[in-house]
Amino acid sequence: MSHVLTPWLAAMAFLVPFVAHASEQGAEPGATEQSGAEAAPDTEQAAEPSAENDAARQETEQQLILDRIQKERAAEQTSVAAIRDSAAFRQVRAIEPPADTGKVLAFHPLPDGGLVIAAGVDERYGERSLAGSLATLLGFGHANQKKPPGNSLVWLDAAGEQRHAAPLPFACKGVTVAPDGAVIAVGGDRVAVFDVAGEQLAEATAPHITLSDDDLARLRQDLVEQHREQMAARKEQFESIAKVMASLEEVPEEERTPRQKRELAQAKMMHRSYEAMLARVDASAEAAVEKGLAKARAIHRVAASRDHLFLVANEPAGYGFGVWRCGRDFSAPEKIIDGLRGCCGQMDVQVIGGELVVAENGAHHVAVYGLDGEPLRTFGEASRTDVRKGFGGCCNPMNACPGPDGSLLLSESNGLVKQFAPDGTLVEILGAANVPSGCKNSSIGLSADGGTLYYLDVQTGRVLVMEKRS
């Protein structure tokens, strides 16, 4: 009986942290949870010789898949390293945030060659070591702790020296510069607008959310139903794991084979993980509704044209992202794009050449829309084996910015920056910033003279500077 459990347990042990993360992030867990439920073994059946052979075959197939992924990653890393050494732009330095301002959370080039950066505290800021965390937990060392930096916008010149700064009333998720030089920053459910001198001109709270009483009632009902389905799926998975664990515990300890002992340890680990996850999830439907409404209010990115702002936010119910358009004074908000597939809260939208360019990383492509939300074209595909033929990793491209001569630039989380013609034809791989791979904000920018390329390194909270080779 237990021989058929190993592949399922191994797969589940791999998926548990991702299911938990998806639940907390609001990502769609359906495919992950359903695949585990369908793969659950029939623990009532006795083991057959063919079952053991089938288990061995599945283990072999799983190992082949892992080997292939590792080879593809190694090939991609080798290719990126080669590009880093030979591309038109090479990394020469980094722009650090001013002292006591925290980390760079977002940035955007300025028309005069400088940068505006949003600095502050993110979830990685502070003590991360085990010893430091333990000392903090026990109350030691508080006398030496510094006050966390506040959030701010800082205007820098081309050399990275501060010109002026302004306090920002929230932790920034995205910043853009409008055609008239105004700086617009978003974070949480807030939007703030500043002039070129750093004076705050306007602020709004969730200007994209305008629901009638009837719309709000329907949304609440949708959120209640979504919560019910999620809780049912999580409990079903938890019960499946408990059933597997119980069947293994029926075998007397002294009679368990090494494989059975390994399976039982895996089952117990997954049981504890799911138990903890379910304990974190509030079973109250009303609490889920309020959490869903708060998630819908959160703004992830912002782009600006001469007349409009474009705000990226989570879909109010379901999964994915949408784009809302409103006036520069936050008037007349309307949803113009929905159903965008993004990963880890990252969905970048830019106004480039009079069009709206979306780096739809979850779909491994770029989607181009009119400023009214009319779909125009898409381009791009996934490719782990050839960085010139497609976008690698689990979810790329991550970010976009205008390039020279009407082109557009796209970044990937492994540091690559590629230049594309408006029709989606790859022109050139411009450079590769020296950053670790991983699903993350990879904001980029090009200086007005086209000689300097910027890439946000979120791990260190710096802006990496790549200059054109002579």
Question: How far is Cα of residue 41 from the mean position of the Cα atoms in its chain?
Answer: 33
Residue 399: its H or E element: strand 399-402
> pTM to 2 decimals?
0.75
Q: Are 237 and 8 in contact (CB under 8 A)?
A: no
Q: Where are the domains of the chain?
A: 87-123+152-188+298-468
> What's the CATH code, domain 87-123+152-188+298-468?
2.130.10.10
CA distance 443 to 109: 11
pLDDT at 38: 36
pLDDT at 365: 96
Low-confidence ranges of the chain (pLDDT < 50): 1-4, 14-15, 17-48, 124-129, 142
pLDDT at 81: 79
Q: Are 96 and 144 in contact (CB under 8 A)?
A: no
pLDDT at 131: 55
Q: Are 105 and 173 in contact (CB under 8 A)?
A: yes
Q: Angle at Cα 460 formed by Cα 459 and Cα 466, nearest 5°?
A: 100
pLDDT at 21: 45
Centre a 10 Å sphere on the Cβ of residue 213 and count the other Cβ atoms it contains: 7
Contacts of 220 (CB under 8 A, 6+ apart): 289
